[in-house]
Structure 1
Amino acid sequence: MIQEFIAERRPRWERLESLLKRGRGHRLRLPAAEIEELGRLYRQATSDLAVARRDFPSDRLTRYLEQLVGRAHPAVYRGEPADWTSVARFFGRDLPATFRASGHYTLAAFGLFVLPFLLAYTAAYLSPTTARLIVGSPVFVEQVERGQSWLEIGRATRPLVASFVMTNNIQVAFLAVAGGVLFGIGTVYVLIGNGLSIGATAGLASASGLGGALGDFVTAHGGVELSVIFIAGGAGLRLGHALLVPGLASRRQALTEAAQESARLLFGCVPLLVIAGLIEGFVSPSALPTWAKVGIGLGTTALMYGYLLLAGADWRGQPQSRGASVGR
């Protein structure tokens, strides 16, 4: 049994040893793709160690895995002093790599927002009474029903609006991430709640003849703003998943690892939300033609996803490595 266990897992242990040697004990000395691989191999080695401690507690394999995991842990989690070089590495490699590694959580967050949005939009479009229940502001609903727009923002107040929007969106992102410590329930609540509220508002506006005005207003900033909320929601779901399904690692260890990744995503969301807030405060209420706002919205969203999907990516194939012998 132990020989089968070793034979199946030895290649990835050797690969982990090779990455540790190449990175000289620190992940930031590796290309972005190998940083992702290092984290994945470390998690797998941690799970293998848990199995070895349970099934082969006296075998030298267990001691080998303890040493391997002990060497890998600081390489994965050790930070560096906050200087311009580390900041550049964070935004140039760590943040995009973390986004790519957590893409399935971001997609899940997208679904938890979009489905309630569509349901609330349809319900509010068909029934103002439903809109009152969801939005929770009868005065606002009556104003929209009369066709009175709430989207006109004077030049003098735009800086205040931009500041308010930034602060509010950062708070929503923080709540979406922090809600993950409640086994993901808080994150799900934030995503569904925002989907219902925004969907009901959009449906009511469309039914009242303000759909075009709302579309003109949100098109410049909506792509970036909502995408960042999905990213933050995905980070919260990552925390919740680690608590609910820690795997062979301890729940504390799984949560620590997930918290590292989620904090990285939350920190990276802040400048994106600042950009979205500036656009919403100054560009969205401006007299620019709709086609220009559409161009700004598509352009900024494309740049954001291009950066997150491509920055720091290593497109070279990963060679198979030859490492130290195991369990021989």
Structure 2
Amino acid sequence: MDLDVFVAAHRAEWDRLDQLQRRRRRLTGAEADEMVALYQRTATHLSMLRAQAPDPVVMNRLTTLVARARSGVVGARRSTWRDAVHYFTAGFPAACYRTRNWWVPTAFAFILVTVLVGWWIAASPEVQASIGAPEELREMTRPGGAYETYYTESAAVAFSAQVWTNNAWVAAISLAFGVLLGIPVIWVLLLNAVNVGIGLGLMAGAGRLDVFLGLILPHGLLELTAVFVAAGVGLRLGWTVIDPGPRSRRVALATEGRAALGMAIGLMVVLFVSGLIEGFVTPSGLPTWARVTIGVVALLAFLVYVFVLGRRAAEAGETGDTRAADVGDRLPEVA
């Protein structure tokens, strides 16, 4: 394609479309029809340029022009409460269900690494000595020690906010940086598995495993599940870079990326609930069985939400991606 010739041949159409879209509120019927035809033609021009002569200056102008004209042709759609309801009753649970083959194995791998690290530390006084001095370890694991006071040293509201922020950051890293072949996701998971395993091993070695589990299970069941979902989605996104399937890599990444970032909203809500449990239930005076039961109920509620509601939504065609009406049109392409 000769870019100069192409631009010279169609500049008048682009200028006319720009003129019409600027006064679209005062168009006659004939002018409105002309604007629709020019919008479709210009969108085709943009697709041709992307494929054959992606000049940045011309592309920038046409991209802006097509976007503005599109809002005039189809109208701008405002988000409503219906969108929020649809997202939480269909989009988010369907996205979680669709990615289950990634985050469920991630969960098992995380638990396996945690248990192995914990067992290794609990069974080896030498490893414990490499972590800290005997006095320090006793101070951490004794009744009323660091592992227990961690949940009560701050006000419940402030502690919940702190926990939520930290976990939201971990989930965001997994979702956003999964595109880097999933390597950052694996690193974050490994660090968290080792950290939990160290606590598990030290408390088990001190004969206080029941106390440790009673402290971590009430909030940890739901909290870690949300992290597993984020990590699984990030790993799926990373794999899309390697194997986009029948779609082009650009289209596959755009589709999966939109769904992944959209899941961030839902996961923030899940992590907010787990933060409330960690701030108000974990350090409460409730008996251990009651606190653990609350954690189990929260986890079961989420699993039912995903595997019942999400499955139904996925079978109905919901993917968690942006609605088709909000995604720009594109020309058919050969894989």
TM-score by length of 1: 0.66
2:283 is matched with 285
Partner of residue 70, structure 1: none
- Residue in 2 that maps onto 1:108: 105
Note the C-alpha offset of 1:140.
5.9
Aligned length: 239
- Distance in 2 separating the partners of 1:82 and 1:129: 59
Residues 225, 273 of structure 1: 8 Å contact kept = yes
Q: How big is the shift at 1:130?
A: 3.0
Aligned to 2:269: 271
C-alpha deviation, 1:137, in angstroms: 10
Matched, 1:189 2:187: yes
| Contact map agreement 1:216 1:290 (CA 8 A) in 2 | yes
Alignment of 1:130-141 (within 5 A): 130-131=127-128, 141=137
Q: Which of residues 207, 210, 227 is equivalent to 2:208?
A: 210
Residue 236 of structure 1 contacts residue 262 of structure 1 at CA under 8 Å; is this kept in 2? yes
Does the 8 Å contact 1:123/1:200 carry over to 2?
Answer: no
Is 1:91 the counterpart of 2:93 in the alignment? no
Superposition pairs of residues 222-237 of structure 1, within 5 angstroms: 222-237=220-235
Q: Distance in 1 between matches of 2:157 and 2:309?
A: 32
Q: Which residue of 2 aligns with 1:323?
A: none
Q: Deviations over 1:202-226 (max 9, x none)?
A: 1111111232221221222121111
Alpha-carbon deviations, 1:50-88, whole Å to 9, x = none? xxxxxxxxxxxxxxxxxxxxxxxxxxxxx9632211000
Q: Matched residues in 2 for 1:240 and 1:303: separation?
A: 29
Question: Matches of 2:308 and 2:133 in 1, distance apart?
Answer: 43
For 2:92 and 2:98, how far apart are their aligned partners in 1?
A: 10
Q: Equivalent residue for 2:78?
A: 81
| Structure 1 unaligned blocks of 5 or more | 1-78, 319-328
Q: 1:309 to 1:253 in 2, by over 3 A?
A: same
> Residue 139 of structure 2: which of 131, 140, 143 is its match?
143
For 2:132 and 2:85, how far apart are their aligned partners in 1?
44
Structure 2: how far apart are the matches of 1:208 and 1:241?
42
Cα deviation for residue 246 of structure 1 reads: 1.6
Tell me if the contact between 1:221 and 1:276 (Cα under 8 Å) persists in the aligned partners: yes
Quote the offset at 1:108 in angstroms.
Answer: 2.8
Question: CA offsets, 1:108-163, max 9 Å, x none?
Answer: 32133122212211111122553576x79998645335563422344862222111
- Contact 2:118-2:199 at 8 Å conserved across structures: yes
In the alignment, is the contact (CA less than 8 A) between 1:178 and 1:187 conserved in 2? Answer: no
1:148-159 to structure 2, matched below 5 A, reads 148-152=145-149, 153-154=151-152, 157-159=155-157
- C-alpha change, 1:205 and 1:156, in structure 2 (3 Å) is closer
Cα pair 1:117 1:198 within 8 Å, conserved: yes
Contact persistence 1:128–1:204 (CA under 8 A): no
Percent identity reads 30
Alignment of 1:291-306 (within 5 A): 291-306=289-304
2-structure distance, mates of 1:217, 1:112: 22
2:252 to 251, 254, 269: 254
Residue 165 in structure 1 maps to residue 163 in structure 2: yes
1:305–1:202 CA distance, 2 compared to 1 (3 A): same
TM-score, normalising length: structure 2: 0.65
Q: Which has the larger radius of gyration?
A: 2
CA-to-partner distance for each residue in 1:247-279, whole Å, 9 max, x for gaps? 243322221111122112222100110010011
**Bigger mean CA deviation after superposition, 107-116 or 192-201:** 107-116
Q: Could you say if the C-alpha distance between residues 282 and 180 of structure 1 is closer, same or farther in structure 2, counting changes exceeding 3 Å? A: same
CA distance in 2, matches of 1:284, 1:212: 14
* 8 A Cα contact 1:176 1:186, kept in partner: yes
The amino acid across from 2:109 in the alignment is L
Partner of 2:120: 123
Separation in structure 1 between the aligned mates of residue 230 and residue 128 of structure 2, nearest angstrom: 27
The 3 A distance-change label for structure 1 pair 123 and 245 is same
Aligned partner letter, 2:112: L
Aligned to 2:25: none
- The 5 Å alignment of 1:49-88 reads 81-88=78-85
Q: Please tell me whether the aligned partners of residues 238 and 262 of structure 1 are also in contact (alpha carbons under 8 angstroms).
A: no
Contact 2:141 2:147 in 1 (8 A): no
* CA distance in structure 2 between the partners assigned to 1:121 and 1:194 by the alignment: 13
Aligned residues: CA RMSD: 2.7
Between the aligned partners of 1:175 and 1:261, the Cα distance in structure 2 is: 15
